C-alpha cells in the first residue's frame, strides 16, 4: 500500500544543521547518530547560512532553528545567531556543554540588540546524574545544568528537553525535573518531553520500527496533516535539503539541492513519521510544563 503524502503548505520554520553531525557527546538514543569525529555531514559556513536566510525570507519564513550535531562546535555560532536575529526569531538546540560565560555573553548581546526572540533548548535526559550520564555520557549532567544556570543568570528562559522512554508517567517525571531545576536556582523551569525516535543510534538500541508501524491514509485523515511539521518546515544542510531533522540519514527524505526544490509533498513511508503524528508537533518550542512564579 502506498504511503499517504503530507502536503506542503509553505515554509514557516527552517531548521539548519549548522555544525553538521559533529558533536562532543555520543548519546545512546541520538536519532541522527551524531558524535565526536562524525564527518558524514559537513558544517555550514556563516556565509552559507546567510544565503539560506536570504532565500527563505523571500518565501515568508517565520523562524529559524539551529540543530546538529552540537551547534556550538561551530566557531561562529554566536555570530550566526546575531545575523539571524536581525531578521527572524531563532532557536538553538544544544547539549549545554559549551555554554561558557563567554558564549552566553555573546548570545545575550545578540538577543539584546534584536526585536526577535532567542530560545535555547538544553538537553537533559534524566533528573539524576546517574541516569542522565548513562544515556548522554559521563560528566554531561553537571555541565548541562551549569549551562542552564548561566543562561538563566543572563536573562534567558531556557527550555530543558528530555527524551521520554515510557518507564515513568509524565506528571511524575515533570515533578522530578522541576524540583531539580528549582534546587539549582532556576526560578521558572520550562520542561519539554520528546518521544524516542527509533532511528539512528536509537534504532541499534531498540531494534527500530516494525513494518506495520507506518502512517495509513485513515490515520492521516483522522488526525490531519497539519499535525506534521513537514507540512511547514524543512531542514537545510551542507548536502542539500531534507524533509525534517529526524530523517536526515534517510536518502529518500532528501528533497533536493535547494530550498525551492523541497517545496513539495512528502510520502510518509517511515516509522518515525508515525511517532511524529502520534505525539503531534514534537519539535515545536512548546514546553510540556512551565512553572508559574
3-state secondary structure 190-242: EEEEEECCCCCHHHHHHCCCCCCCCCCHHHHHHHCHHHCHHHCEEEEECCEEE
| Model confidence pLDDT, tens digit, residues 124-171 | 999 999 999 999 999 999 999 999 999 999 999 999 999 987 656 788
| Model confidence pLDDT, tens digit, residues 244-270 | 999 999 999 999 999 999 999 999 999
Residue 128, classified by CB atoms within 10 Å of its CB into exposed (0-12), middle (13-18) or buried (19+), is exposed
pLDDT band of 227, cuts 50, 70, 90: confident
Quote the cell numbers at residue 224. 490531519
Count of CB atoms within 10 A of residue 180's CB? 19
pLDDT at 1 over 90: no
Question: Pairing state of beta strands 63-67 and 5-6?
Answer: unpaired
Max distance between CA atoms of the chain, in angstroms, equals: 54
What pTM value is reported for the model? 0.94
**Cα-Cα end-to-end distance for the chain:** 52
Domain boundaries, the chain: 5-290
Count of CB atoms within 10 A of residue 67's CB? 23
pLDDT at 62 over 90: yes
Arch. (CATH architecture) of 5-290: Alpha-Beta Barrel (3.20)
Amino acid at each position: 500500500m502506498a504511503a499517504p503524502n503530507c502536503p506542503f503548505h509553505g515554509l514557516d520554520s527552517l531548521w539548519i544543521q549548522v555544525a553538521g553531525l559533529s558533536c562532543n557527546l555520543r548519546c545512546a538514543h541520538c536519532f541522527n547518530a551524531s558524535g565526536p569525529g562524525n564527518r558524514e555531514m559537513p558544517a555550514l559556513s556563516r556565509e552559507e547560512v546567510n544565503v539560506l536566510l536570504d532565500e527563505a525570507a523571500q518565501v515568508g519564513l517565520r523562524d529559524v532553528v539551529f540543530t546538529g550535531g552540537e551547534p556550538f562546535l561551530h566557531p561562529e555560532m554566536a555570530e550566526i545567531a546575531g545575523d539571524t536575529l536581525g531578521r527572524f526569531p531563532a532557536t538553538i538546540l544544544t547539549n549545554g556543554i559549551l555554554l561558557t560565560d563567554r558564549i552566553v555573553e555573546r548570545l545575550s548581546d545578540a538577543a539584546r540588540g534584536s526585536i526577535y526572540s532567542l530560545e535555547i533548548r538544553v538537553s537533559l535526559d534524566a533528573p539524576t546524574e546517574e541516569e542522565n550520564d548513562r544515556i548522554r555520557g559521563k560528566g554531561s549532567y553537571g555541565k548541562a545544568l551549569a549551562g542552564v544556570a548561566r543562561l538563566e543568570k543572563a536573562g534567558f528562559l531556557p527550555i530543558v528537553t528530555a527524551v521520554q522512554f515510557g518507564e515513568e508517567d509524565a506528571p511524575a517525571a515533570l515533578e522530578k525535573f522541576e524540583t531539580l531545576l528549582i534546587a539549582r536556582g532556576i526560578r521558572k523551569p520550562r520542561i519539554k518531553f520528546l518521544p524516542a525516535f527509533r532511528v539512528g543510534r536509537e534504532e541499534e538500541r531498540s531494534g527500530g520500527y516494525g513494518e506495520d508501524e507506518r502512517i495509513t491514509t485513515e490515520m492521516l485523515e483522522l488526525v490531519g496533516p497539519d499535525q506534521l511539521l513537514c507540512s511547514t518546515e524543512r531542514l537545510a544542510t551542507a548536502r542539500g535539503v531534507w524533509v525534517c531533522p529526524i530523517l536526515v540519514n534517510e536518502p529518500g527524505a532528501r528533497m533536493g539541492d535547494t530550498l525551492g526544490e523541497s517545496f513539495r509533498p512528502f510520502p510518509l513511508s517511515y516509522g518515525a513519521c508515525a511517532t511524529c503524528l502520534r505525539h503531534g508537533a514534537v519539535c515545536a518550542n512548546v514546553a510540556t510544563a512551565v512553572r508559574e512564579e
